[in-house]
């Protein structure tokens, strides 16, 4: 199936199903990490988010899953501005990084609270299609008077 935007090079926009895939993977794995008390998995998720944000979508495993496996089968979804979901990922990366640090210093409860916040919000976004991190970005953008020419799409 054809693509109207390149998944890795057109970084100003993104197929809206890609962030949802990412949210589903991050949210599910963070929840599993909590159930099995796998603190190392939270650290891995933080690293994964940071890699994707800094090195590009080719380093984001859920993005690869979507763009290489899912999208070729179901076609391209709605194209949207990539800034709001990127901001949501940044927030998730910060929370999971702080959670990892909390585990390292022995503040396990605090770490798990942060991890569960990320898991809950990510799963809610994946299920409902309403990305609260993106909405937060929109609120900030409006407050700063940013030109919102690419959202909503």
Near another protein by CB under 8 A, which window of 47-55, 57-65, 94-102, 121-129? 121-129
Instruction: Map residues 72-101 to x or -, x wherever contact with another protein holds by CB under 8 A.
Output: ------xxxx--------------------
Q: Does 9 bind another protein (CB under 8 A)?
A: no
Q: Does 110 bind another protein (CB under 8 A)?
A: no
Helix axis angle, 108-128 to 17-35, nearest 10°: 140
Of 68 and 135, which CB lies nearer to another protein in the complex structure?
135
How far apart, in Å, are the Cα atoms of 77 and each of 17, 24, 61, 84, 118?
6, 16, 19, 17, 24
Q: Does 129 bind another protein (CB under 8 A)?
A: yes
Choosing from 35, 54, 73, 106, the residue that interacts with another protein (CB under 8 A) is: 35
Of 12 and 54, which CB lies nearer to another protein in the complex structure?
12
Choosing from 12, 73, 105, 144, the residue that interacts with another protein (CB under 8 A) is: 12
Binding site for another protein (CB under 8 A): 4, 12-13, 31, 34-37, 78-81, 116, 119-120, 123-124, 127-130, 142, 147-153
């Amino acid at each position: 199936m054809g693509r109207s935007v390149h998944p890795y090079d057109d970084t100003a926009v993104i197929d809206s199903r890609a962030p949802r895939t990412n949210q589903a993977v991050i949210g599910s794995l963070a929840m599993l990490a909590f159930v099995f008390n796998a603190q190392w998995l939270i650290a891995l998720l933080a690293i994964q988010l940071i890699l994707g944000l800094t090195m590009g979508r080719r380093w984001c495993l859920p993005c690869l899953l979507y763009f290489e496996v899912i999208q070729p089968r179901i076609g391209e979804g709605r194209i949207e501005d990539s800034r709001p979901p990127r901001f949501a990922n940044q927030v998730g990366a910060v929370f999971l990084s702080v959670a990892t640090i909390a585990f390292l210093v022995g503040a396990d409860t605090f770490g798990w609270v942060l991890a569960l916040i990320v898991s809950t919000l990510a799963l809610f976004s994946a299920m409902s299609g309403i990305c609260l991190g993106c909405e937060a970005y929109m609120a900030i953008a409006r407050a700063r008077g940013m030109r919102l020419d690419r959202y909503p799409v």
